[in-house]
Amino acid sequence: MEDLKSGRGIQVVAPGAEHTFCLDEDSLEALLLRDDVKDRSAIVISVAGAFRKGKSFLLDFFLRYMHQKYNVGASLDWLGAEDEPLNGFSWRGGSERDTTGLLLWSQPFKATLDNGEKVVIYLMDTQGTFDSESTVRDNATIFALSTMLSSVQIYNLSQNIEEDDLQHLQLFTDYGRLAQETSGGKPFQRLQLLVRDWSFPYEHAYGVEGGQELLTKRLKVHEGQHHELQSLRKHIASCFEELACFLMPHPGLNVATNPEFNGKLSDISQDFKISLKQFVPMLLAPENLIPKRIGGQKVKSKDLLLYFKSYMNIFNGTSLPEPKTILEATAEANNLSAVAEAKEVYETIMEEIAGGAKPYLQPQLLEEEHRRARDKALHSFHSKKKMGGDSLSETYSVKLTKELEDQYEQYRLHNEDKNLLRKLGTAAVLAALALVCYLVSVLSGVLGLQTFAMLGQTAALASVGMLLVWCYARATGNMRELGSQMDQIADSVMELAGQHAGRQAAAVASSYAAEKTSYSADKKLS
């Protein structure tokens, strides 16, 4: 397991001052924007629930399975050797909390689904709720963030499904109803309840079937039940595409009472290990993986960064946000994702045409390519299903169009810099001006016109000085404004010279045509 030992849990969301939370954007970007994963659909598997109930301990078995299945390529004996300590996310026994904030494992796992789609899997560990240091809002914030960001939320429960456990889902049922009204479809993928230390196997057997029986019983609506309890039960299922429950046995007395316990399988009960072998592949096997979707669209790894930022902004207030606010933040991040994807379409096309290594392109052709790339980018934006309605989409469409025009200006300037004639044009004009002035001064001296000779010498020296300043500005980047003014002067001179040459050529052509006509007429007369 050397590969696992080299990884670690990265605290991407950390507790801040006065019960706030801070987002580590640098660490998050380094993880989510890696070139080998950023364009893959993201699968986020999170474990949340009360503190000191074995969330990190469970995730480390997830890591063992993931390493064997997706890195090594086999998963037969993924639990490992009987005497091997359990490594991965930090965990320890005792009564004090160990995990704070939100943590992502530093080594994303790359996988290919049965349909050939390439995905990346992230494991998320969460701060335990209901400890002695966290407020109710702290607990709700962590639970909400992990649920909003995950494709599979494992709700880690102790011994049973209590009414309080269901009440914690109230925020998501309210959000789910609102999301369905505006966008349609269920907003979340899977809620997996995991009841740990299940002590009533004679009522419901360990595993999936017993769990589903217990969940059905707890979610049953019956007469005499309070209206709020009925409403909660009716709407939980409408928020999640999948609702499941698994009953897990106690891991054994050695795990609970031995202060030296380090996760060795030999100290864990056989029933617990059997249940692990059933539960873990049920979530992590390739055929069971569930990509994260928001607004009906799969979320890529790079898109997760936008959602992290958007949710952190609204959950860091003095109170929990309203479902409407959460929906607005989701819609904003959703549209930003569409904008980013459209800009990538534009950049890909323009880089092929006018990228750094590409030769100079005629301005008219460059503008035509810009219009073609812009239209494709806008089509990409409008064709992607988005949240927030047409009004919000139009706002971001206008913003996208402006950003594309700004990018085009950068490509245009970069293209002009490649124009060798323009690069050398200023130098050629100044050098030619210096030579002409020098010749004028020499000729004036021969003719005895000393005043003109001095003026010619002065103009020649000034032209040489300007040439040196221009070269310095080009080479060092200093005095850029002065260098640009010289370029403009040189462009004007070349334009005037071109116009004059054009008029002379037209006059010569006209004269030639007139002579030819006259010659033809004389020949006919003769």
- 102-118 confidence digits (pLDDT tens): 999 999 999 999 899 99
The CATH code of the domain that includes 60 is 3.40.50.300
Q: Note whether residue 325 is domain-resident.
A: no
User: Is residue 219 within 8 Å of residue 165, measured between CB atoms?
Assistant: no
Query: Are both 52 and 193 inside the same structural domain?
Result: yes
Query: Are both 455 and 429 inside the same structural domain?
Result: yes
Total tally of structural domains belonging to the chain: 3
> Which domain covers residue 351, as residue numbers?
338-417
Query: Are both 228 and 161 inside the same structural domain?
Result: yes
Q: Note whether residue 326 is domain-resident.
A: no
Q: Note whether residue 257 is domain-resident.
A: yes
Query: Are both 251 and 297 inside the same structural domain?
Result: yes
pLDDT tens per residue across span 480-494: 677 667 767 776 766
Query: Are both 342 and 313 inside the same structural domain?
Result: no
The per-residue b/e assignment along 475-507, b for 16 or more CB within 10 angstroms, e otherwise, is eeeeeeeebeebbeebeebbeeeeeeeeeeeee
Query: Are both 357 and 496 inside the same structural domain?
Result: no
Dihedral (CA of 221, 225, 229, 232) sign: positive
Q: Note whether residue 329 is domain-resident.
A: no
- Of the chain, the end-to-end C-alpha distance in Å amounts to 107
Q: Note whether residue 356 is domain-resident.
A: yes
The CATH code of the domain that includes 405 is 1.20.58.420
Coil, helix or strand for 416? helix
Q: Note whether residue 93 is domain-resident.
A: yes
Kind and range of the H or E run holding 239: helix 227-239
Query: Are both 303 and 364 inside the same structural domain?
Result: no
Q: Note whether residue 485 is domain-resident.
A: yes
User: Is residue 109 within 8 Å of residue 71, measured between CB atoms?
Assistant: yes
Query: Are both 157 and 295 inside the same structural domain?
Result: yes
pLDDT digit string (tens) for the chain, length 526 residues: 445 567 888 999 987 777 788 999 999 999 999 999 999 999 999 998 876 677 888 999 999 999 988 877 666 688 888 888 888 887 655 444 456 779 999 999 999 998 999 999 999 998 766 555 667 777 788 888 888 999 999 999 988 999 888 888 887 777 777 777 666 678 889 999 999 999 899 999 999 999 999 999 999 988 888 888 888 888 888 788 999 999 999 998 887 778 778 878 989 999 999 999 999 999 999 999 999 999 888 999 999 999 999 998 888 777 778 888 888 888 999 999 999 999 999 999 999 988 877 888 888 999 999 999 999 999 999 998 888 888 899 999 999 999 999 999 999 888 887 765 555 566 777 777 778 777 878 887 778 788 878 887 787 788 787 777 767 766 666 776 776 677 677 767 666 665 665 566 566 656 656 665 655 555 555 5
